[in-house]
Structure 1
């Protein structure tokens, strides 16, 4: 939570995205859930923070096929972030060192043969 407040991380769903590009942070990105399952929690924290910030979904669930817009404050300068997603059954996947200054979209997919969740970047 301290990073959220200190860094003014603004997270909003696409339905409530009210600011224009002039207020957008260079780290803004979209998460697309194509795992086949609902995601109950998504955490985004500065790289190597050693703890997770607040769940950015809040009380919402990101259903399969849905997307979620993540927005940072314009003043945010950090590019490297870690992300953790938690499925509704408690299973999770973690990515470290995502360069959000170069990523605009993360499409999450789950491979039933390997049991691995992957993230395709754009």
Structure 2
């Protein structure tokens, strides 16, 4: 599991470390890695943004079967976000227009036959 230190809070344009539910936003969600491989970077940015915000994992890696809790600032109002994950080997996958106000968990899986990373959204 990722340590408490590694839990991140996303503000509109910056990623901040958070400790406690006082910062909880409607967009909070959990990322579960069931790909079979480590994820080196995870980026979450407002939808239709032309660039990615900072890596929310920081210096950590999200190993297979681990999860990461993403917490937004309570004042954040945006619901639509894009997410990008990058594997150790540099391969990546992107999901656009995720309505994080309606999502509580994203489980990532990699299909060996197709080479595609999919996201099961709850």
Which runs of structure 1 show a deviation greater than 3 angstroms over 4 or more consecutive aligned residues?
A: 8-12
1:70-81 alignment runs, 5 A limit:
70-81=70-81
Alignment pair present for 1:7 and 2:9? no
More helix by share: 1
Where does the alignment leave 5 or more consecutive residues of structure 1 unmatched? none
8 Å Cα contact 1:11-1:71 kept in structure 2: no
**What is the TM-score with the length of structure 2 in the denominator?**
0.86
8 Å Cα contact 2:10-2:70 kept in structure 1: no
In the aligned structure 2, how far is the partner of 1:6 from the partner of 1:60? 19
Where does the alignment leave 5 or more consecutive residues of structure 2 unmatched? 1-8
Alignment pair present for 1:69 and 2:64? no
User: Do the aligned partners of residues 60 and 68 (structure 1) sit closer, same or farther apart at CA in structure 2, a change above 3 Å counting?
Assistant: same
- How many equivalent residue pairs? 114
Q: Report the equivalent of 1:84.
A: 84
Deviation, 1:8, is: 6.6
In the aligned structure 2, how far is the partner of 1:115 from the partner of 1:95? 16
More strand by share: 2
Which deviations, in whole Å up to 9, do the C-alpha atoms of 1:67-112 show, x marking residues without a partner? 0000000000000000000000000000000000000000000000
User: Do the aligned partners of residues 5 and 80 (structure 1) sit closer, same or farther apart at CA in structure 2, a change above 3 Å counting?
Assistant: closer
In the aligned structure 2, how far is the partner of 1:52 from the partner of 1:8? 9
Q: Report the equivalent of 1:48.
A: 48
Provide the secondary structure at the position in 2 that maps to 1:71: strand
